[in-house]
Structure 1
Amino acid sequence: LLGDSEVGRSIEELVSGLGACISRGSLSGNFDEDNIDNIMIPYDELAFWMQRKGAGKESGERVSRIAKELSECGLAAPMLFDYSSTQERGQSSLAALYTAIEGVLPLLENISLDEKINPPYPVKRMKRLLVVVSYKICAEVSWNLAEVKDIFQPKDKRASMVVREALK
Structure 2
Amino acid sequence: MSTFSGLSTALSSLHAQRQALEVAGQNVANANTVGYTRQRADLTGVEPVSVPSLHSGGASVGNGTRVTGIARLGDVFADARLRAETGAASFTATRAEVYGRLESTIAEPGDKGVSHALNQFWSSWGSSATRPTPTPPAPSSSRTRTRSPPASPPATPR
TM-score range, shorter chain: under 0.3
More strand by share: 2
More helix by share: 1
Query: Higher RCO, 1 or 2 (CA under 8 Å, sep at least 6)?
Result: 1
Structure number with bigger Rg: 2
